[in-house]
């Protein structure tokens, strides 16, 4: 049996999600078991029709979150509620049916498409697989018609449907990946850095495509990126991630205008501003030291070693999320600077 959530406005709710990868033990009988704590207890929700941007530096666990939400990795702990149903407790058959409503767009359009299949075959494959299971009822003629419609929707001519992936540019390949993700008429798209492998000019086109499709189909997005400009453009709300934990969440306008967490401030200060006068006057926040190893769990704040505003309590206690006065609704931060 799956569990139901009471919040009908959310399409996705993630509660205390953990993804720990076993890395063996110390080599002696009874030795310490070693893990990589890629995602270490995060919670967030996505409302229907909303885009949540998840941002952080490389290696912080963003892509692992996508794979754990999609159940491509079996989470170590936590709940993933899609329309109130806990995906972590589903049988294989139940999970197969649930994936119809939740599809992924991957980072690398070069490796996410089968080079032996034509564009039409790639886009039609999900529909044919689900038709065999009796979940998606369409005739072959209807599937071919939908393939052509999806190609036109993502900006590709239907006359290219018999071409192979190597005959397209990187941006065109990513459009094929988006069309494939839309084939089963999902309601939630998990986009794992879908524009990071593309040229900047092509990035803008693909981002606009995501926005247009969302408006037309009423989709919800979990959008992963490390580029702050991309996240700001595409997101309604933003969650900032550091070393397997979310440290701040908020509306994109408020978070960029009034960042609270020291890591968020450092992250935003590193992003260039296309105004020479502003760029010359603003002060960069240079973090000292390296990112700690994800193989170590800590008692206190994971940002302690690099934080310019750390307190004594930060070393031994983990901060809880608080909503500081003067911030917009939903703007929360996990930092002792804003509460005990």
Give per-residue pLDDT as tens, 322-335.
999 888 888 999 99
pTM metric for this prediction: 0.91
User: 331: burial class by Cβ within 10 Å (0-12, 13-18, 19+)?
Assistant: buried
Residue 18 tokens, joined: 């953990």
Per the CB < 8 A criterion, the answer to whether 17 and 42 are in contact is yes
Taking each helix axis as running N to C, give the angle between helix 140-153 and helix 119-132, from 0 to 180 degrees, rounded to the nearest 10: 130
Give per-residue pLDDT as tens, 164-181.
999 999 999 999 999 999
Give per-residue pLDDT as tens, 280-338.
777 778 788 788 889 888 889 999 989 988 888 999 999 999 999 888 888 999 999 98
pLDDT (average), residues 27-31: 67
Give per-residue pLDDT as tens, 236-246.
999 999 999 99
Give per-residue pLDDT as tens, 60-111.
999 999 999 999 999 999 999 999 999 999 999 999 999 999 999 998 888 8
Q: What is the DSSP letter of 54?
A: E
Per the CB < 8 A criterion, the answer to whether 138 and 127 are in contact is yes
Per-residue confidence band for 233, with pLDDT thresholds at 50, 70 and 90: very high
Angle at 100 between CA 94 and CA 102, to 5 degrees: 100
pLDDT (average), residues 48-58: 94
What is the distance between the alpha carbons of residues 242 and 55, in angstroms, rounded to a whole number?
9
């Amino acid at each position: 049996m799956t569990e139901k959530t009471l919040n009908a406005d959310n399409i996705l709710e993630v509660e205390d999600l953990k993804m720990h990868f076993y890395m063996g033990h110390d080599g002696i009988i009874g030795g310490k078991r070693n893990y990589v704590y890629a995602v270490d207890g995060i919670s967030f929700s996505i409302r229907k029709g909303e885009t949540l941007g998840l941002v952080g530096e490389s290696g912080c666990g963003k892509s692992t979150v996508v794979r754990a939400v999609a159940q491509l990795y079996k989470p170590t702990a936590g709940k993933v509620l899609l329309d109130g149903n806990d995906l972590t407790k589903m049988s294989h058959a139940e999970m197969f049916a649930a994936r119809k409503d939740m599809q992924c767009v991957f980072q690398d359009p070069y490796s996410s498409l089968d080079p032996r299949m034509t564009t039409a075959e790639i886009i039609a494959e999900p529909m044919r697989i689900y038709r065999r299971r009796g979940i998606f009822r369409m005739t072959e003629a209807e599937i071919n018609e939908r393939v052509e419609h999806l190609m036109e929707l993502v900006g590709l001519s239907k006359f290219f449907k018999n071409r192979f992936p190597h005959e397209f540019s990187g941006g065109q390949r990513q459009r094929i990946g988006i069309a494939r993700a839309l084939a089963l008429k999902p309601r939630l798209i998990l986009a794992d850095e879908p524009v990071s492998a593309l040229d900047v000019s092509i990035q803008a086109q693909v981002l606009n495509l995501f926005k247009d499709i969302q408006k037309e189909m009423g989709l919800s997005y979990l959008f992963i990126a490390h580029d702050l400009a991309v996240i700001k453009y595409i997101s309604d709300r933003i969650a900032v991630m550091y070393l397997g934990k979310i440290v701040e969440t908020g509306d994109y306008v408020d978070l960029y205008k009034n960042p609270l967490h020291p890591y968020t401030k450092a992250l935003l200060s590193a992003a260039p501003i296309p105004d020479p006068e502003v760029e010359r006057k603003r002060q960069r926040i240079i973090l000292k030291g390296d990112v700690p190893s994800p193989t170590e769990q800590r008692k206190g704040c994971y940002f302690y070693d690099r934080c310019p505003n750390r307190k004594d309590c930060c070393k031994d206690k983990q901060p809880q999320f608080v909503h500081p006065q003067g911030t917009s609704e939903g703007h929360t931060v996990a930092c002792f600077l804003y509460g005990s």
